[in-house]
Chain A
C-alpha cells in the first residue's frame, strides 16, 4: 500500500509540473496583460512596473543568450524558470492586481472558507444522498423510489445558479429567515450549503440506488441470503460495501471541486472563497493568482482521487487484487 501511494505521489508531482507548465504557456500566449486598463499607465511607469515583476524577461527562452551559447542563462533567466523555482519553494509569487500582496496570502484568505463550505456541503450531500439511495434501491419500483427518482432528476437537471437564486429569493429576501450574503455567522452558511449540497445529494442518491440494485442480484449476495442472514445484514455487511465503489469514485473529483470553491455559489452569496480566483485571476491577467488557484485545485484533485482509490480498495476486495497488487509485483521482479 505504501509503495502504491509513493508511486501515486511521484505521478502526481509530474502531473502538477505538467499542469503548471501548460497553464503558464497558455497565459503567456493569451493576449492582453495585467496592466491593460481603462486608464493607461504612463509608458515609463509601465516599464518600471513590468520590470519589477520580471515581466520584461523572456517567457520561456532567452533567444539572444541561446545564440551566444550561454545555455544556462538562456533557460535559467526566463519567467518560466523563475516561476518554477518559486513554485518548488511553495511560493506562488506576487499578485499583479493586488499590489503588495503575495498570491499565497490571497489564496490563503479564501482557501479555508471554500474548504469549510465545500466539506460541510459534501457531508450534507452524503447524509442526504446515501440513505435516500439505499432505501430507494431496497424498495425499487415503489412509491418512495419513484419519488426519489423524480426529485433527484429535477435537482440534477436544474442549474445550480437557478437553485441558489431561488433559495435566496424565497428564504432570504422573501421570508427573511436567512442572511443573504457573506459569512458573518454559521447561519450565513445555510443557504450556500443547501444550494451546494442538493445537486450532489441527488447525484449520490442516484448512484447508490443504481449500484446497490445491481449488487443485490450478484452471486455473493444471493449466497449470503441463502445462508439465512437477515435482509439488513445482507445489505449492510455484504451488498453495500461493493455498491459504494462508484460513489467513492465519483466523490474524489466532486470533493476536490467542492473544497476549492464554486464560482457560481460564491458569487451569488458573496462568499470570500477561492472560487472567484479561477475566473477573476484569468480576467485580470493576475498570472500568479490564476496559476496558484490551478495548482491548488490540481493538488487537491490528485489527493482526493488517491484517497478515493484507497477507499475503493478498502471497500471491495476484488479491487485490491486487481489494481493494487500487480505493479508492485512487476517492480519486485526487476
Chain B
C-alpha cells in the first residue's frame, strides 16, 4: 500500500515536472546577441537554392550567402564589379574576367566553370527553376578558369542588370551532386558570398557566419535572420531591442514614426496595378479599358487606403530605374469626363450597354482598394461593378486561366530595369495573363534587347507608351518602403529594392535594436 502510494506520488511528480522540462529544452537563446546583427527576415524561406528562390526574404539571404559576377550598387542600383573584376562587351556578347584567387566558403577554388554549371542548372527543366526564362537566349562557356563568355541573342541590353539575379550566382557542383535537393542545409551549402550558412531552424531563425575566404573584408561577424510572419511581430521585436533591422513596418504606425532618425522611407521598385482580360467583354474593347483606367482617382487610394506614402502610378515602370523615363499613358490619368467619353466611344456605347463586370481580388487589403474602385467606377462611369473576393491560390489560378474580367495585380522588380516590368506583357510571357498580344510591342522589346544605352531606353519607353495606350493594365500606385534600422548599425543604405549591402555594414558597440527610445 505504502509502495503504491509512493509510486503514485512519484508518477504525479514526474507528470508535473515533464512539461517545464520539455519547455526548457525547446528554449535556447541565440549565442552572441551582441556581436551578431539581428534582422527580421520575413516568413520561413521556401528555399536557399539560388536557382529556385524568388521571394524577397530569400533573395536578401542569398545576397549575403552568394556573390554573382556583378552586384548592384546599393545607392545607384547600377551593376558594379563583384566576382568579376572587369568585362568586355562586343556585338555578340560579354566576356567576364573573374578576380584572382576567388574561393568558396569551404576554401575550394571558385572558377568560371562554377558559374557555367549554375546557369546550366537553371536552364535544365528538371531543376524546376522559375528563372528558366531568364537564361533563355543566352549561351555561356568557361574559356579558362578565370574567363566566362556569355553570348547569344539576349546577351545585351539589360544583361548586366539581369546578372544580379540570384539564379546567376555560382554553385559548387560537388555540393549539389553529393546532397541533391538537400544541398542547401547548413554543413552542405557551399557558397561564395560574405557569409556562410551556420544554422537553419525551421520557422525560427537562420544563422550566418562571416566567410573567412571572402575576397574582401566583412565588418560583421555573424547575422541572425529571424523568421517572422506578419508585420506587427517584427515591429515589436525591434521596439523591444530584439532586432536591429525590420523592413516591414505596419502602415498604421508610420504616421507616429515619421521624422524618427532610425526610420528610412522612400519608394520601392514595385507597382500595384489592375489586369484587364482583353478576351472578355467589356475589356475586349480598348475604349472600355481606357474608360475604367481613367475613372480611377489614384490620389484618393494612396491617401485614404494604403496610407504609407505610396507615389501614384502613371506608368507600369516605377521611376528611378537608371535613366529610364516611363512612356506616357493617357494624359492626366484621372479624368472622369474623358473616361465617360471613352466609354461612349466603345462599342458598348456607355454604361448601360455594358455586360455585368466583376472585380476579382484576394485578401482583405486588396478588398479595401476594391471597394474604393467600385465606388469610383460607379460615381465616375455609372458602372456597377461586383466585387469577387477569392482565396489566394484560387485567385492566382483563376487569373492564370484568364477566367476573369478585371483583377488586382502587382509586380516587384527582380532587378532595376524597365525590361523586367515590360517583358511581363510580351505575348509569349507566362506572367502576361491579360491576353494582350501586340506584335509591335514585342518587336519594340526585341529591338531594345539588341540596342544599347539611350537607344535601348527609348525603345522601352515607346513600348510602354504602346502598352498604356492599349490599356490591358491600369497602374494604380508604386509601393513605398518603411525600414527601421537601429542606430548601432553603421553603413546601412536604404534602397528601393529593400536589399541589404552586407559588406558595407558594421556594428557599433551599444544597446541592441531600436532599443527603448522614447
Q: Which residue of B lies closest to A97 (CB)?
A: B46
Q: Are B23 and A189 in contact (CB under 8 A)?
A: yes
Are B29 and A181 interface neighbours, CB within 8 A? Answer: no
Determine whether B304 belongs to the interface, using a CB cutoff of 8 Å to chain A: no
| A228 in contact (CB, < 8 A) | no
Interface residues of A (CB under 8 A from B): 31-34, 36-45, 47-49, 52, 97-101, 105-106, 109-110, 112-113, 115-117, 119-120, 122-123, 168, 172-173, 176, 179-186, 188-189, 267-270, 272, 276, 280, 283-285
Task: Please give the distance in Å from A311's CB to the nearest CB on chain B.
Answer: 12
A183-B18 contact given A109-B202, A168-B236, CB 8 Å threshold: no
**Can you list 17 pairs linking A and B with CB atoms under 8 Å apart?**
A31-B398, A45-B125, A48-B128, A49-B128, A105-B202, A109-B202, A116-B19, A173-B240, A183-B26, A183-B204, A186-B23, A189-B23, A189-B27, A270-B226, A272-B204, A283-B391, A285-B393
Given contacts A112-B26, A184-B27, A184-B30, is CB(A39)–CB(B229) below 8 Å? no
Check if B466 is an interface residue, CB within 8 A of chain A: no
Q: Given A43, A99, A123, A267, which contacts B181 in the complex, CB threshold below 8 Å?
A: A99
Q: How far is the CB of B107 from chain A (nearest CB, A)?
A: 24
**How many A-B pairs fall under 8 Å by CB?**
168
**Complex contacts, B44 vs chain A, CB 8 Å:** 98
B471 within 8 A of partner (CB): no
Q: Which residue of chain B lies nearest to A186 when distances are taken between CB atoms in the complex?
A: B27
Q: B444 contacts the other chain (Cβ, under 8 Å)? A: no
Distance of A103 from chain B, by nearest CB (Å):
11
Decide if A40 touches B204 in the complex (CB within 8 Å).
no
Please report the C-alpha to C-alpha distance between residue A97 and residue B30 in the assembled complex, in whole angstroms.
Answer: 27
Q: Does B503 contact A (CB under 8 A)?
A: no
Bound CA–CA A41/B54 (angstroms): 11
B228 within 8 A of A: yes
Q: Decide if A100 touches B126 in the complex (CB within 8 Å).
A: no
Given the interface pairs A31-B397, A283-B392, the reply to whether A100 lies near B184 with Cβ below 8 Å is yes
| Stretch from B129-137, B261-269, B369-377 that touches the partner | B129-137
Q: Is B483 an interface residue (CB 8 A)?
A: no
Closest 7 CB pairs of A and B: A32-B393, A119-B19, A100-B181, A272-B203, A109-B202, A36-B396, A116-B22
B76 at interface by CB-CB < 8 Å: no
B23 pairs with A176, CB closer than 8 A:
no
Pair B400/A40 contact, Cβ less than 8 Å: yes
A45 and B128 contacting across the interface, CB-CB below 8 Å: yes
Q: Whose C-beta in chain B lies nearest to the C-beta of A115?
A: B22
Residue from the set B203, B430, B433 with the largest chain A CB neighbour count within 10 Å? B203
B 194-208 binary contact with A (CB < 8 Å = 1; else 0)? 000000011110000
Q: How far is the CB of B89 from chain A (nearest CB, A)?
A: 28
Given contacts A173-B239, A180-B240, contact A112 B25 (CB under 8 A): yes
Note all chain B residues with C-beta closer than 8 A to A112. 22, 25-26
Q: B49 in the interface, Cβ–Cβ < 8 Å?
A: yes
Complex contact B203–A180 (CB within 8 A): no
Q: Would you call B159 an interface residue if the criterion is a C-beta within 8 Å of the partner chain's C-beta atoms? A: no
Chain B residues within 8 Å of A47, by CB: 125
Q: What CA separation (Å) do A168 and B396 show in the bound complex?
A: 36
* Pair A48/B125 contact, Cβ less than 8 Å: yes
Identify which of B126, B132, B396 contacts A38 (C-beta below 8 A).
B396
- What 0/1 readout, one digit per residue, does chain B (228-267) give for beta carbons within 8 Å of chain A? 1110010011011010000000000000000000000000
- Which of A31, A109, A284 has the most chain B CB atoms closer than 10 A to its own CB? A31
- The answer to whether A32 touches B23, judged by C-beta atoms less than 8 angstroms apart, is no
B75 at the interface (CB under 8 A from A): no
Contacts of B516 in A (CB 8 A): 176
B364 sits at the interface (CB 8 A): no
Contact status of A270 and B396, CB under 8 A, knowing A32-B391, A181-B236, A182-B237 = no
Q: How far is the CA of A181 from the CA of B185 in the complex (A)?
A: 25
Interface pair A267/B229, CB less than 8 Å apart: yes
Determine the chain B residues whose CB is within 8 A of the CB of A45 once the complex forms.
125, 127-130, 132
A123 and B20 alpha carbons, distance in the complex (Å): 9
CB of A99 within 8 A of CB of B47, answer yes
A99 to B228, CA, bound (A): 19
In the assembled complex, the Cα of A52 lies from the Cα of B22 at a distance in Å of 38
B16 CB–A CB distance under 8 Å: yes
A98 touches B47 (CB 8 A): yes
CA distance A110 to B24 in the complex (A): 15
Chain A positions within 8 Å of B19 at CB level: 116, 119-120, 122-123
Instruction: Given the known inter-chain contacts A42-B130, A44-B125, A120-B19, please indicate yes or no for A113 contacting B26, CB distance below 8 A.
Output: yes
A98 with B46: in contact, given A43-B430, A180-B240, A272-B204 (CB under 8 Å)?
A: yes
Question: A116, B393: Cβ atoms under 8 Å?
Answer: no
* Extra pairs beyond A100-B183, A172-B236, A173-B239 (14, CB < 8 Å): A31-B393, A32-B394, A32-B395, A37-B54, A38-B410, A45-B125, A48-B125, A109-B204, A116-B23, A176-B240, A180-B233, A184-B28, A186-B24, A268-B233
**Alpha-carbon separation in the docked complex, A210 to B398 (Å):** 53
Complex formed: what's the CA distance from A100 to B52 in Å?
A: 11
Check if B29 sits within 8 Å of A184, measured CB to CB.
Answer: yes
Interface residues of B in 15-60 (CB under 8 A from A): 16, 18-20, 22-30, 44, 46-47, 49, 52, 54
The CA-CA distance from A101 to B202 in the complex, in Å, is 10
Q: Which of A40, A119, A172, A267 contacts B22 (CB 8 A)?
A: A119
Does B182 have its Cβ within 8 Å of any Cβ on chain A?
Answer: yes
Question: A183 — which chain B residues lie within 8 A by C-beta?
Answer: 26-27, 204
Q: Specify which of B30, B204, B230 is in contact with A267 (CB 8 Å cutoff).
A: B230
Q: From B22, which residue of chain A is reached at the shortest CB distance?
A: A116
B227 within 8 A of A: yes
Taking a contact as CB atoms under 8 Å apart, the answer to whether A32 and B46 are in contact is: no
- Is B108 close to A, CB under 8 A? no
Q: How far is the CA of A183 from the CA of B226 in the complex (A)?
A: 11
Tell whether, in the assembled complex, residue A39 and residue B130 are in contact, meaning their CB atoms are under 8 Å apart.
yes
In the complex, how many angstroms separate the beta carbon of B127 from the nearest chain A beta carbon? 8
Q: Which residues of A contact B204 (CB under 8 A)?
A: 109, 182-183, 272
Greatest chain A CB density within 10 A among B23, B46, B130 is at B23
In the complex, chain B residues whose CB is within 8 Å of the CB of A101: 202
Q: For residue B183, which residues in chain A have a CB less than 8 angstroms away from its CB?
A: 100
Least distance between B130 CB and chain A CB atoms (Å): 5
Task: Return chain A residues, CB-CB under 8 Å to B181.
Answer: 99-100
Best-buried of A34, A123, A172 by chain B (most CB within 10 Å):
A123
How far apart sit A119 and B410, CA to CA, in the bound complex (Å)?
43
Which residue of A is nearest B430, CB measured? A40
Residue of A nearest to B21 (CB): A116
A117/B430 in contact, CB under 8 A = no
Kindly provide the distance from the CB of B86 to the nearest chain A CB, expressed in whole angstroms. 33
Inside 8 A of A52's CB, which chain B residues have their CB?
126, 128
Also in contact, A36 and B242, with CB within 8 A (given A99-B49, A115-B22, A116-B19): no
Given contacts A42-B130, A123-B16, A276 and B203 within 8 Å (CB-CB) = yes
Contacts of B132 in A (CB 8 A): 42, 44-45
Give bound CA distance, A37 to B412, whole Å: 13
- Establish whether residues B27 and A99, one from each chain, have CB atoms under 8 Å apart when the complex forms: no
A36 near B397: Cβ-Cβ < 8 Å? yes
